Chain A
Amino acid sequence: MKILDLLASALRSINRNRSRSLLTMLGIIIGVASVIGMLALGSGASDSIKGELGKLGTNLIMIRPGADQQRGVSSDVTNAEVLKETDIKAILNLCPTVNFISPVVQTKSQAVFGSNNCRPYVTGAYRDYFFMNNYAIKLGQLYDDRTGKSLQKVCVIGKTVAEDLFVNEKEAVGNIIRIDKIPFRIIGVLEEKGETMGMDGDNIIIAPFRTVQKRLLGLSYVHVIHAATKDENDVDKAVSEIDDVMRGFLKKVSGGEPQYQIATQKEMLDVMGTVLDMLTLLLAAIAGISLIVGGIGIMNIMLVSVTERTREIGLRLAVGAPSNVILWQFLIESIVISLIGGIIGILLGYALAEIGGNVMDMDAEVTMSSVLMAFGFSFMVGIIFGFFPARKAAKLNPIQALRHE
């Protein structure tokens, strides 16, 4: 019997039991569709989150007080007051790759205008902070605090704050608001940043560093230092330069342990990316389980089919079908069923990715590799789960099979 005849006979047999074949395929269809859909949505989500994080500035380096967490909990060397504004000058002078730098203090305060109020994050920083963190001005202007001398009571506000306090954000510039009872004049409104992982990036007020540090918080130290390179590729070099200065010139060590941590946005992006990729794989693996369940479904139906068609098999054997041809006939039938299921599943997966991508507002692209994988997998499922029933059919004794009721 030729392969084409076998294929034709498999297709005829599938067509003869159309609804049953479709039900058999269902497991494969759902499995393949969800694997493809999950992979597409997962990588789409991962790309869009990476994109959002990228907006925060990939050249950014953050210096925080505290021992490196990786070296275990060592609270005695942790000193929240370890970073001073004077460190800024040393880093800027001694680290050639560092181009932008700013001390940062931050607090959550109440802001009031007339009878309206809100609770934004208030950040005190130099002008460089805006460039490092990709803030752009929409209305008005930035303050001119490059060196930290300014004690001016001016501020730049985010879109959310503008909307909370004013009827129209255009009215905001020039008005005086009170932050923790201290009056600040609004000199600018920022471009919208949008939401990043559930955090409103526009519920912020940014003011000159010393104004916030001294007037609002009454602090003598710095919460965090933000630094940035001009070129993304210099980030690692900058980190080691900063580390050298902090350790050597500034002597921010206690008992041999540094009292600070240096983190980069890139690192965070990498970690985030790894986590997201793992999540995507996990989802796909869970979806993959349904492929196996689908395979067991095929095996079940093929076994039923072998039993149902015992007389037919007996007849085929009696008229001279070699048992290996019978084996191939059933094997090809189960392969064809799972491949058809696979193809329908792939189409459904495309639809799933398209719809899911639209609903979640992101690019969920089905990759060729996931399609090939799904196709290969359904082929394997057909072979593996079709083999046992096919062998059972091939081993039948023709007379007993013919007598089967």
Chain B
Amino acid sequence: MAKCVIDINHITKVFNPGENEVRALNDVSLKIFEGEFVSLMGASGSGKSTLLNILGCLDQPTSGTYFLDGEEVNGISKAAISRIRNRKFGFVFQAYNLLPKTTALENVELPLLYNSDISSSLRRKKAKEALVSVGLAKRIYHKTNELSGGQQQRVAIARALVNEPKVIFADEPTGNLDSKTSYQIMELFQNLNEKGILIVMVSHEPDIVEMSKRKIILHDGKVIEDDEIINPKNAHELFVAANKK
């Protein structure tokens, strides 16, 4: 059986305790294993992003425990958490979040900048490789504002890849893109997943979710459904089909 990477137990997250209290997560327990491709679904405000942020160690739960690779996250220092995000995780956001007025290359180099084990020449090399792997070989030195939405999201994915992460967290990565471009992005994710990277993605588009391997549905901060997707759709085939129309 595959190794358990993420193991959360009875996680709750309460915003604004006291008055105007929002219980964004209410007793959520989950196990996610190596090699999985998980989609988080649910209505707006159901707590998807909150859960993803906690899983990605960007936020701390109000209560409950989180074991990452068998190690409890709650107790460790801020610096150690930064290090985990820097070495083990990659993040992709709906709004791309690229640095303005900088080149694709500089954006992709960013996570490695905070890893002092990596020399500047190696940093450059790895960033170029990551850009090539997302199909942006010809856009390495372009400024980010000269790129299309899909290209920008691919830069963001290259940035998430560059540190060879164990897990990629993606919050609505196709939310701002048309369906054809979305398929291309999903194809990238499927390829990465093939190579063994665990992917946790938030999406509310059913056809996108059908390309992942597991679907978790949240409602009012609770998990109401958790199903394996028997036959995930192949993003590349969908893209080719869409092009034929």
A: residues with CB less than 8 A from B are: 1-2, 5, 9, 12, 16, 311-312, 314-323, 325, 398-399, 402
Contact = CB atoms under 8 A, between A and B. Distances in A.
Given A399-B58, A402-B93, A319 B85 contact: yes
A203 B84 CA distance: 88
Nearest to A8: B120
B113 interface: yes
Contacts of B91: 318-319
A398 B99 CA distance: 15
Contact of A398 (B58, B83, B101): B58
Contacts of B85: 318-320
Contacts of A315: 97, 99, 110
B93 A5 contact: no
6 contacts: A1-B116, A2-B116, A16-B101, A314-B97, A322-B79, A402-B93
A399 B59 contact: yes
Nearest to B110: A319
Nearest to A9: B113
B86 A319 contact: yes
A393 to B, nearest CB: 15
Given A312-B99, A402-B93, A321 B114 contact: yes
A307 to B, nearest CB: 15
B111 interface: yes
B58 to A, nearest CB: 5
Contacts of A311: 97
A320 B59 contact: no
B145 interface: no
A2 B119 CA distance: 10
Interface of B: 53, 56, 58-59, 78-79, 82-87, 89, 91, 93, 97, 99-102, 110-111, 113-116, 120, 159
A323 B58 CA distance: 13
Nearest to B81: A320
Contacts of A319: 85-86, 91, 110-111, 114, 159
A312 B106 CA distance: 13
Residue from A9, A318, A320 whose CB has the most chain B CB atoms within 10 Å: A320
Nearest to B59: A399
Given A318-B56, A320-B84, A322-B79, 16 more contacts: A12-B102, A312-B100, A315-B97, A315-B110, A316-B110, A317-B82, A318-B58, A318-B91, A319-B110, A319-B159, A320-B89, A322-B78, A323-B78, A398-B58, A399-B58, A402-B93
B56 to A, nearest CB: 8
A325 B111 CA distance: 13
Contacts of B59: 399
Given A1-B116, A5-B120, A402-B93, A320 B78 contact: no
Given A5-B120, A311-B97, A312-B99, A320 B58 contact: no
A325 B114 contact: yes
In the complex, the 9 A-B pairs of residues with the closest C-beta atoms, listed nearest first = A320-B86, A319-B111, A320-B85, A321-B114, A322-B82, A315-B97, A320-B82, A320-B114, A398-B58
Nearest to B113: A1
A68 to B, nearest CB: 73
A322 B114 CA distance: 8
B104 to A, nearest CB: 15
Contacts of A312: 99-100
A358 B1 CA distance: 88
A4 to B, nearest CB: 8
Contacts of A321: 82, 86, 113-114
Contacts of A16: 101
A311 B98 CA distance: 9
Greatest chain B CB density within 10 A among A311, A314, A316, A319 is at A319
Contacts of A12: 102
B99 to A, nearest CB: 6
B123 to A, nearest CB: 9
A322 B115 CA distance: 10
Contacts of A325: 114
B44 to A, nearest CB: 15
Contacts of B116: 1-2
Contacts of B120: 5
B53 A399 contact: yes
Nearest to A319: B111
A111 B194 CA distance: 113
A311 to B, nearest CB: 6
Contacts of A320: 82-87, 89, 111, 114-115
Contacts of A314: 97
Contacts of B53: 399
Contacts of B101: 16
Nearest to B162: A319
A351 to B, nearest CB: 34
A305 to B, nearest CB: 13
A16 B145 CA distance: 14
Contacts of A9: 113
A361 B120 CA distance: 55
A316 B59 CA distance: 15
Contacts of A1: 113-114, 116
Contacts of B115: 320
Contacts of A323: 78, 82
